[in-house]
Structure 1
Amino acid sequence: MEIAVSPTISFHSPSSFSSPRAIKLRRARVSSSPGTLYQKVQLMQQRQLGDRNLEEAEIAAIIGACRCYRMPDFAQKVLFDMKSLGIRPGVATLSALLLYCMKSGLIDEAEALWCEIINSSIVPSVGVVSCLVDTYVRTREFEEVMRILDEAASTGFSFTSQLYSAAVNCFGSAGQLDMMKAVVKDMVSRGFKVDSVTGNDFLKYYSMYGPLVEMEAAYEQLKKSRILIEKEAIRAMALAYISQRKFYDLGEFLKDAGLGRRNTGNLLWNLLLLSFAANFKMKSLQREFLAMIEAGFSPDITTFNIRALAFSRMGLFWDLHLSVEHMKSKGVVPDLVTYGCVVDAYLDRRLGRNLSFVLDKMNVDNSPVILTDPLVFEAFGKGDFHSSSESLLEARRQRIWKYSELIAVYLRKKYRANQIFWNY
């Protein structure tokens, strides 16, 4: 069957199966000729599909290729023609039509298809129903979402728990915390267990959109459920604390989460160091850094840069020098943030002539990279050299820079600024 050439679109009998390669070729021909495709779709609406019989996989493929065209009554016409030929629409066809209607914004037609699915013995995929839920969330028809969840649970779909998880994610990402909470309550009341993914999503979105009190309450609920908090939720809670400058509370949360965990890497320890460094509690910072090493964790670039930023802002040159030496001994390559700590520390105190004392021990011929965790910038901000170099790198993306060149440009900039100042 040549979709891109033939003036008609028709069906194979379900008993005759085309090869997967043939179906891919048909789909490629359909998608590569939009003008012809639109003409075929019009013909598909206008005439019956009985010239030949197509297998259902091909029908679904053609319907999928039609999603870029919005044509009301398209789904009803396809179903009517199939039924008139004695072809019973299967899960692939109904799912493809449902997705077509949702992508085209034909919500009423999508609702009619959903009713047909619910009232039949057909079981759609969780992806299709999740897409329907997401569409209703985006159009803010929250009651419809709850109705779909209720119908899916009442029908006994095996993926109902996954559908609840998808609804939690949809409501959470839209900032609808009350509806997200209602979905979880309904899920539990029906006897479904809140799994790790759902629990962590619940906490993550409360961290992103809710007040700290409700976020902490969600965290306590997670603990009571014996669900382990994962990286994304940890980062979301840390960001919430950092944004509110609640560094003590951040430290307490991290200790409660368990600093000995290995599955999060250095994340918990780095955030704990950040909670002390951001308040410039240098003795506590050093104590916890030693505790991290004693616990068997090896410092990474973020660990070193958290300390370097604190040393730089405090003007602790010897500590900064030792930190660079420690990085070298551990085989940790400095990034743009590390160089910025060194350059800003010396220039801010008008000690630019001594800058080579540290830079001679660093490879300034390397190309600049940023490997530091972005949460560090939420607490410290970006240094002057860091911000200036990023602007330069973004302005001239095609050029391959070296740290030495960025430093030279920055020194000239600072020199000109000083000359302008003294000329006044």
Structure 2
Amino acid sequence: MQINSLALPSSRMTILLKDSNSGVPHQQNKIIRWRNEKGVFGGMDSSVDCSSLAQNSSTKRMLHQSDGVSHDMKVDGYMPKQTTLCVLMLYYTENGLFPQAQTVWEQLLNSSFVPSVQFISRLFDAYAKHGRFDEVIDILHYVDMRNFSILPDVYSLAISCFGREGQLELMEDMAKKMASSGVHICSRTANVFLLYYGIFGSLNEMENAYASLKKSRFLIEKEVIRAMASAYIKERKFYELGEFLRDVGLGRKDVGNLLWNLILLSYAANFKMKSLQREFLKMVKSGFHPDITTFNIRALAFSKMALFWDIHLSIEHMEHEKVIPDLVTFGCVVDAYLDRRLGRNLDFALNKMNLDDSPQLLTDPLVYEALGKGDFQMSSEAFFEFKTQRKWTYRALIQKYLKKYYRRNQIFWNY
């Protein structure tokens, strides 16, 4: 979405440790440094000097043996700082060394470790990447057992982590545990929950999740609306899409023209032109200004139905609203005329459009999910990959496409 992900920015980590007898290739530096830009370890020192630790443990293999960390900690009574252990644990989990990571985690627990949200976020991401969801649950149980103040954030991170990986059952269980624990579910967490049901769930599951969000009176966010609309479009449930959009509220201006454009798209996909035109007029009367996606939804429907006069009126309206046509708009004109074998009239149709502009693709991708891409657009996107021509224009693309189009039925014989 782009909804704002609950995964917080991760700190950059550089491990510079050399052990001459360990057989582990490292940089030529005996200092472990943690660049802690966001306070990942809750205010610990941002740079940890472990040179003395490295010198006293040159015969131990800290980055390979699961018991290396605990052994190092007993050398000369030296206790590495928690920052060092956090660095090691992130290193192990991100590289799939889970027994070693578990050993470090146990050492952290024994040292009364108080994790930060950023550190747990990185751990969750690393474990989820390897499908180690049990470890994510164990970490959450630890935070819950110690009753840390970051518990609501950790629940939210777990829900986001499971949802991102498509683990909807785990995400559902986590939301139930969160509610039963008396932890308040915020609007952002509820939207993340609904987002992943829109992406990975069935329509029934998604609609049930939406009903729960409505009861909580949370405002549904833009990326969640897009995810749910995409789910309806993939199932060709355009009537249900329209009902959902009206339930959200077409008067919302914080999401721009998204809701109105999707309403128009639901009618255009079924070629209900009178309803489409009626909703378009309602959109304008409601104070919304049509954008390039609005015009192209109508133009695509007009093109597929060969409504040439409506296409011309739509282009004139775009000019009046100072909306610049993009590749989809040109494709609607070209495809409509060529499909009806009226290629000789293309000059008349295109004379109100600037053929020497550089091609742009500004239409919402949801439009392609419902109406597909025209032949001219697909051909042009293929031409863009050619490196022989540095600068494309609409004129050059049309000339190339016409040459290809008129030669499509020619047969070349090799003698």
**What range is the shorter-chain TM-score in?**
0.7 to 0.9
Q: For 2:217, give the aligned amino acid.
A: R
> Which residue number in structure 2 is paired with residue 224 of structure 1?
215
CA contact (8 A) 1:57 1:93 kept: no
1:290–1:352 Cα change, 3 Å = same
> Which residue number in structure 2 is paired with residue 174 of structure 1?
165
1:40–1:233 Cα change, 3 Å = farther
Q: For 2:189, give the aligned amino acid.
A: T
Q: For 1:131, give the aligned amino acid.
A: R
CA contact (8 A) 2:337 2:343 kept: yes
In structure 1, C-alpha distance between the alignment counterparts of 2:123 and 2:315, rounded to whole Å = 54
From 298, 317, 327, the equivalent of 2:289 is: 298
Shift of 1:151: 1.3
> Which range moves more in the overlay, 335-344 or 121-130?
121-130
Q: Tell me, yes or no, if structure 1 residue 73 matches structure 2 residue 65.
A: yes
From 147, 152, 158, the equivalent of 1:156 is: 147
> Which residue number in structure 2 is paired with residue 271 of structure 1?
262
CA contact (8 A) 2:171 2:193 kept: yes
CA contact (8 A) 1:134 1:167 kept: no
> Which range moves more in the overlay, 89-98 or 326-335?
89-98
> Which residue number in structure 2 is paired with residue 58 of structure 1?
47
In structure 2, C-alpha distance between the alignment counterparts of 1:311 and 1:61, rounded to whole Å = 70
Q: Percent identity?
A: 55
From 236, 240, 262, the equivalent of 1:249 is: 240
1:123-146 deviations in Å (ceiling 9; x for gaps): 122222233333433444433332
Please give the residue correspondences for 1:331-370 in structure 2 after superposition, counting only pairs within 5 Å: 331-370=322-361
In structure 2, C-alpha distance between the alignment counterparts of 1:82 and 1:44, rounded to whole Å = 19
TM-score, structure 1 as length reference: 0.82
Corresponding residue SS for 2:149: coil
Q: For 1:294, give the aligned amino acid.
A: K
CA contact (8 A) 1:180 1:202 kept: yes
1:184–1:280 Cα change, 3 Å = same
Q: For 2:179, give the aligned amino acid.
A: V
1:255–1:280 Cα change, 3 Å = same
Shift of 1:406: 0.3
Shift of 1:85: 4.8
In structure 2, C-alpha distance between the alignment counterparts of 1:122 and 1:71, rounded to whole Å = 21
> Which residue number in structure 1 is paired with residue 4 of structure 2?
none
1:69-105 deviations in Å (ceiling 9; x for gaps): 993137x545644553555433322211211111232
CA contact (8 A) 1:91 1:124 kept: no
1:297–1:398 Cα change, 3 Å = same
> Which residue number in structure 1 is paired with residue 385 of structure 2?
394
Q: For 2:148, give the aligned amino acid.
A: F
- Provide the aligned length of Structure 1 versus Structure 2: 379
1:366–1:38 Cα change, 3 Å = farther
Higher helix share: 1
> Which range moves more in the overlay, 130-139 or 238-247?
130-139
Q: For 1:59, give the aligned amino acid.
A: V
Corresponding residue SS for 1:395: coil
> Which residue number in structure 1 is paired with residue 317 of structure 2?
326
1:41-64 deviations in Å (ceiling 9; x for gaps): 84999xxx999xx9964337999x
> Which range moves more in the overlay, 381-390 or 391-400?
391-400
Q: Tell me, yes or no, if structure 1 residue 240 matches structure 2 residue 231.
A: yes
> Which residue number in structure 2 is paired with residue 12 of structure 1?
none
CA contact (8 A) 2:70 2:107 kept: no
- Give the aligned CA root-mean-square deviation in angstroms: 3.0
In structure 1, C-alpha distance between the alignment counterparts of 2:290 and 2:168, rounded to whole Å = 37
1:356–1:44 Cα change, 3 Å = closer
Shift of 1:327: 0.8
Shift of 1:227: 1.2
Q: For 1:254, give the aligned amino acid.
A: L
Q: Tell me, yes or no, if structure 1 residue 417 matches structure 2 residue 380.
A: no
In structure 2, C-alpha distance between the alignment counterparts of 1:366 and 1:44, rounded to whole Å = 57
TM-score, structure 2 as length reference: 0.84
Shift of 1:273: 0.6
Q: Which runs of 5+ in 2 are unaligned?
A: 1-11, 35-43, 54-60
1:7-43 deviations in Å (ceiling 9; x for gaps): xxxxxxxxxxxxxxxxx9x96xx77xxxxx6556849
In structure 2, C-alpha distance between the alignment counterparts of 1:90 and 1:44, rounded to whole Å = 22
Please give the residue correspondences for 1:371-390 in structure 2 after superposition, counting only pairs within 5 Å: 371-390=362-381
> Which residue number in structure 1 is paired with residue 57 of structure 2?
none
Q: For 1:198, give the aligned amino acid.
A: T
Corresponding residue SS for 2:184: coil
1:97-130 deviations in Å (ceiling 9; x for gaps): 2111112322122122222323333212222223
Q: For 2:175, give the aligned amino acid.
A: V
> Which residue number in structure 2 is paired with residue 19 of structure 1?
none
In structure 2, C-alpha distance between the alignment counterparts of 1:251 and 1:242, rounded to whole Å = 11
Shift of 1:338: 0.4
Q: For 1:211, give the aligned amino acid.
A: S
CA contact (8 A) 1:79 1:89 kept: no
In structure 2, C-alpha distance between the alignment counterparts of 1:400 and 1:145, rounded to whole Å = 50
CA contact (8 A) 2:93 2:127 kept: no
1:91–1:261 Cα change, 3 Å = farther
Shift of 1:180: 0.7
From 147, 152, 164, the equivalent of 2:138 is: 147
Please give the residue correspondences for 1:112-151 in structure 2 after superposition, counting only pairs within 5 Å: 112-151=103-142
> Which range moves more in the overlay, 122-131 or 331-340?
122-131
